[in-house]
Every structure is written in C-alpha cells, then in structure tokens.
Amino acid sequence: MALHRARGAAEETTLKILVTGAAGQIGHRVARHLAVRHHVVAAVRTGGISGIECVTMDIAEPLSVRIAVDHVMPNAVVHCAAMTNADECETGRDLCRRVNVDGTRALAEESARSGARMIYLSSDLVFDGKKGDYTEDDKPNPLSWYAETKLEGERITAATMADYAIARTAIVVGKGGIPPRGFACWLVETLRAGKKARLYADQFRSHFYLGDCAAAIGLMLERNLTGLYHLSPGRKESRHAFGMVLAEKLGLDRSLIEAIGMDDAAMDAKRPKDCSLSNAKLVAATGFEPSALDKTIECIKSEFEG
C-alpha cells in the first residue's frame, strides 16, 4: 500500500510508517527524520508530538497494539518502544518482559497480519563484552535481564515476521526525546548543576551520534534491508574518555568527572566491558558514513547550546 508522490523529476516512494516509543530518545529523532520524506504516525503512551500525527499505544497491552495498528494501517513499523533502564529491568523483571518481549510479539504479529514490515531496535548489550568489535556473526551472550529481553525480542521478530530487519544499535549520544533523555543529556545536566559524574574508565562502547542512528534506520527502511545489522560508528571509547571530550567541548567542568572502574559501582544489572560494534555490514550494504568523534561532539554541542 505504498503511497507515491512526485519530487522534482523523480518519483519516490513515500511510506506510511508507525514509530513506536516516539517520545523516547531514539524514537523521537527517528520520527522527525522520517517525517521529512514519509507519512509518519508516532505511537506514544500519552500526550502528543508537535507537527506529527500521533496515536496512543501501550505496547504491554495486546489490544492497544491491535487497535493502533488497525487504525494506522502502516506499510512499515519502526519499533523503538522498550523498557530501557537496565537496573529497573533487573528489579522489575515481569514488567520488563511484558514490554520488551510480549509487546514485541504483539507488535510483530499485528504488523505481519496487516502486511507491514518492521525494523526492531535491539542493543549492543546483547553481547557479554569479552571480545569487542562484534559483528553480526558473533554469538550474543546477555549479562542482564534487559539484554535477555532485547535478544528475545530479536528472536520473536525473526520467528513471527517474513519481512523484518533488526537494527542492533550501539549506545546513542545526542539530545532526543520528550523530555530529552539518555547518557549525553544526563551528563550535561549533571555537570551544569555542578554535581559529580562517575564514569567507567574500563567500559568501552561505540558512542553513536543520535542523528546518525536515525539516518541509518532511514537507510535501512528505504533500501529495504532485511535481517540483522549493527548500527555503530565503528569505533570505541571508554565512557570516561567520551565524557571528558564532551565536557571539554561544551565548556563544562571536567574536574567534576571521576573515573571509576566497573567493579567500583554497585549496579543491579551487570554490564559488559567492551560491547563495541563493527558497522562493516551496514557500510557495505548502504555506503553509510557515520560521523567521526569530533563531528559527533560538534553536533551534540549544537544540540545542547543551539
């Protein structure tokens, strides 16, 4: 049921896309990015998003999922809704399963029934962090309940749908969500408030600019990619190193940042030491060019100061 519109001399396909978790850090940016070229309907729990058509959906309630999908009749679904705080997932396992596993199953079933393809967002945290630079061929080994449920969501999506893609995303950095949330936002707010921020010096992640993440998801949709892809800048830094560079660029007090080891912090959910992701498969398929670290920091600076 693709809609078509003329754009200059060329005709391009305009999709009707349902974005779940559209008030979240990634979902909000994805919805805005895709809305430039496509008809986007944003699924939110409450409220609305200015300039974007919205539908309410509680992903943990199968009837709510069915009603929303029937109402929107999308060609494509980008599934960003999830319970994402790993420590809350660890202590609230039942709710986490209902949202991340049962919710994904309900959405995959409804999407398949209505003929829509789906991109499911998964996480770098599905790996145990012993190796780093993980490719799509590496075997996941989740350390936390959050990661277990994200991996189960991948399996359910693959088992339920014929036309799907899994975007296993590295940690995103940028200002996104209503209200804004995520690691960069927490760090900037903490330092602006003059409070101390403790960052792991021995945990390595592929800090991925939020705008690049949205662009990569757009490419996956528009190129009809299917199967599993890692979304990443293809490099890694420690959480502490990234935080220090960001603070310096934003003129924030770097002395408030304390380098700690992962063994120094008592967390409910275990974290991997190095779950950096290779982006070679995505780059080969699409020519995707992620931002270098200095460009990433520059973009984040303009988001927080603009």
Ligand X SMILES: NC(=O)c1ccc[n+]([C@@H]2O[C@H](COP(=O)([O-])OP(=O)(O)OC[C@H]3O[C@@H](n4cnc5c(N)ncnc54)[C@H](OP(=O)(O)O)[C@@H]3O)[C@@H](O)[C@H]2O)c1
Where along the sequence are the contacts to ligand X (CB under 6 A)? 21, 23-27, 45, 57-60, 80-84, 99, 121, 123-124, 150, 169, 171-172, 177, 181-182
| Closest approach of ligand X to the CB of residue 126, in Å | 9
Q: Are strands 117-123 and 39-44 parallel, antiparallel or unpaired?
A: unpaired
User: b or e along 54-74 (b: 16 or more beta carbons within 10 Å of the residue's beta carbon)?
Assistant: bbebbbbebebbbebbeebeb
Phi and psi at 247, nearest 5°, equal: -60, -40
Distance CA 133, CA 129 (A): 9
| Closest approach of ligand X to the CB of residue 178, in Å | 7
Phi and psi at 118, nearest 5°, equal: -135, 140
Is the Cβ of residue 5 or residue 71 nearer to ligand X in the bound state? Answer: 71
Is the Cβ of residue 29 or residue 117 nearer to ligand X in the bound state? Answer: 29
CA 229 to chain centre: 13
| Closest approach of ligand X to the CB of residue 166, in Å | 11
Single-letter amino acid code for the residue at 29: R
Is the Cβ of residue 14 or residue 93 nearer to ligand X in the bound state? Answer: 93
Is the Cβ of residue 124 or residue 128 nearer to ligand X in the bound state? Answer: 124
Strand order in the sheet with 76-79: 53-56, 39-44, 16-20, 76-79, 117-123, 164-169, 227-231
| Closest approach of ligand X to the CB of residue 43, in Å | 7
Is the Cβ of residue 173 or residue 257 nearer to ligand X in the bound state? Answer: 173
141 close to 128: Cβ distance less than 8 angstroms: yes
| Closest approach of ligand X to the CB of residue 11, in Å | 32
CA 108 to chain centre: 17
Is the Cβ of residue 182 or residue 218 nearer to ligand X in the bound state? Answer: 182
Paired with 54 in beta bridges are 42
| Closest approach of ligand X to the CB of residue 93, in Å | 15
Residue with the closest Cβ to ligand X? Answer: 24
90 close to 33: Cβ distance less than 8 angstroms: no
